[in-house]
Structures are given as C-alpha cells and as structure tokens.
Amino acid sequence: MAPSSFYLLRLTLSLCVLFTAVTTATCVPRSHSSPDLSAAILKRHFPIKTADNGSLYVQDPSTNQTVEQGRASDGAGYGFDAPAIIWLAWSFAVGIPLVLAGIRLSRITTGASIGLTCVLLVWASFVNTVNAEGIGDPVIAGLCMGAFGVGFTIGVLNIGRVAGITLLAIMGGMSIGVRIILFRPGLLIPSLLYANWLIITVLGIGGFVLVLLRQRAAITGGSAAVGSLLVGLGIDLIINQQDGLSMGLRFLFDRNNSHLVDLFTRQYHPPITTEIIMAVSLAAIPLFAYLQHYIFKQPFSRIRSDSLFSIRDTPRSSNSSTRGTGETATLRPEEVLEKAEKGSYASSSKGRK
C-alpha cells in the first residue's frame, strides 16, 4: 500500500472515531437544574409526573407504562471509596504529563488521547443504557480503565499516530466547550439543550481544523486543554468529591430515562470552588501551551512538519542522524547513496583481508 493511501486510511479511521464521538455526544446530552429545570424536563418524551402520595415517577406516553427509576450511576463512587480513588488517580496520572509535556512525550501523548476517547465512549454508553438496577461503580470504573488501556496501546503504535494527534486536537477543543457549558447551574443554555452541545461540537471541529493547518499548535494546545481539564477534575474530586465537576459531567451526558427522577431531585448547582477550578484551568491553557512550545524545541514526532498533511509527504527512513538540537534530519538521496558506496567498499576491503 502506498504511503499516501496508508495515510488516507488512517485519517479515515480517525474521522470515523470523530463521527462516533460527536453522534454519541449529540444523542446523549441533557440538562437538569436551575429554575428552568422543571420546564425543560417536562418537554422530554418521558416526562416526570407526581403521584397522589407526592412521589415522582416517569411515564412512557406511548404505552402509559411507568418507567422504573434507579440511581444515576456513573462509576464515580462515593466519597473516597475504591472507584473514586481510581478516577482520582487516573485524572492526575493522565492529566499532569499532558499539561506539562504533551508535545515532548510523543507516543505517550497519542496513546493518552486515544485512550481518553475510548473512556469517554465507553462511559457514556454505559451511563445511558443501563437499566434501573444499574451496574456497580467498580464495574463501570474497571471497564473504563480497560478501555483506556486498549486505546493507549493503539496510540503508542505507529498505526495510531495520526488518529492520536487528530483526536488530541478535537478533544482539546471539546474540553474547552465542556467547561464553558458547566459554569452555570443547569448548563449554559438550560432551555436549549442541544445548543450546549452545538457549542462543544463547534470547538471540537475548530481543533480538527487547527491540526490540519498547524500541527504543533494543535498538539500543544490540545495537550494543555485536555490535561488541564483532567487535573482540574482531580482537584475537584478531592475538594467536592462527586458533587462538583463530576456531577456536571453526569448532567451533561446522562439522558437515561431510568435516571430522570434521581437527576431531577439532585440537580446540578456547581459549588463556587468548582467554578474557580474550571476558570483557572481554562486560563492555564494558553500558558502551558506556550511553555511547552518554548521549552521543548524538538518536533513532536521527530519530523519537521507544520501540518497534519505534511506527515504523508515526509520520508520515513531509519537512516537519519540526530543534530545537536535533538531534531532528527532525514538524509538526502545523494547522502544515502554515498553511505551505501562507502559501506560496500568497506565490506569488500574486509573480505580481501
């Protein structure tokens, strides 16, 4: 397969993953909070009603059957139990390297970006498809960590390089949108729920466009954006546990009709500390992106390229020499021929001896 065809295949796979992520996100979002919360929920196909005894229930209007309700489980755990500690440690373990040295870590960065995408898809799928009985938090957390391991393994391989870079830029843009949406109780636009995800999707597309035009800027910015979100999530889990940013993510993603009563009664009101953490994490993005660009001069993949398109046009050769700057320069054809002639001459001389 020609290099250009192989590049197009990998880019197509990346776009398929992007399409799946955006489709899942568009179908999943839901807001429940603020004074407009009741009106927003009553517009749903499965509205919440009040029984004669004052209890809440959900009725399917097409069958008039009551939809069994359960706790809105998302694998986050309670307090500082085992699932909560898993998410806390994972947030710091992935977020700190990305925000500090994403442009320098190369394969680790692409592995983390694909792994994070897998975690998001698996987590959103389980949150929105489990029944009222739910699944234990340790099980959901374990499945998400397993998905991260699979995605990380793919990302450290050469075949996952383009997908990892692309998804890093997309996830970086979307992570900015998520924090903007979660600033207000009941999300940014409670009465127009899909408008919230439109903002997130547009920012994700902006990241995709940036990686096509300026690869280095997309990698530094995406690493800083994703890393700062994960670090902020870890700090918020320590301070607010499951009542801060974790609850906001649940309200943003959970559209499971078996969770309506639980989400309606709990609602989403971000604590002031959560808002401060999100604001600081957003302000830190350009700072850490510039620091990565300034400190780490080496190319992300040891290839001189300003855009994703240039990857396919760069020769892939193991015959390269490392300059004092740490960059890898590709030998010109005449240099390769000269080295081959010298090697052949040395071999023949050794044979005569």
Asked if residue 252 and residue 106 are part of one domain, the reply reads yes
Q: What are the residue ranges of helices labelled H in the chain?
A: 3-27, 37-42, 82-105, 107-129, 137-156, 161-181, 193-213, 215-240, 245-253, 260-266, 272-295, 333-352
Q: Pick the closest to residue 183 from 255, 232, 120 (CA basis).
A: 232
Asked if residue 339 and residue 222 are part of one domain, the reply reads no
Asked if residue 325 and residue 278 are part of one domain, the reply reads no
Write the CB contacts of 55 (distance below 8 Å, at least 6 apart in sequence): none
In single-letter form, the type of residue at position 231 comes to V
Indicate the SS3 state at residue 64.
Answer: coil
Asked if residue 70 and residue 17 are part of one domain, the reply reads yes
CB 126 within 8 A of CB 264: no
**Number of domains the chain contains:** 2
Return d(Cα 258, Cα 269) in angstroms, integer: 21
Asked if residue 211 and residue 86 are part of one domain, the reply reads yes
Asked if residue 179 and residue 41 are part of one domain, the reply reads yes
Asked if residue 69 and residue 217 are part of one domain, the reply reads yes
Each of the 353 residues of the chain gets a pLDDT tens digit; together they read: 444 444 445 544 554 544 444 444 434 433 333 434 444 444 445 566 555 555 665 655 666 666 666 676 678 888 888 999 999 999 999 999 999 999 998 899 999 999 999 999 999 888 888 776 778 889 999 999 999 999 999 999 988 999 999 999 999 999 999 999 998 887 887 767 788 889 999 999 999 999 999 999 999 999 999 999 999 999 999 999 888 898 888 888 877 777 777 777 677 888 999 999 999 999 999 999 999 999 988 877 644 444 455 444 444 444 444 443 433 333 444 554 555 555 555 555 555 55
Domain that holds residue 331: 318-352
Asked if residue 336 and residue 209 are part of one domain, the reply reads no
Asked if residue 70 and residue 33 are part of one domain, the reply reads yes
Asked if residue 219 and residue 200 are part of one domain, the reply reads yes
Q: Model-level pTM? A: 0.71
Asked if residue 60 and residue 38 are part of one domain, the reply reads yes
Asked if residue 141 and residue 59 are part of one domain, the reply reads yes
CB 248 within 8 A of CB 268: yes
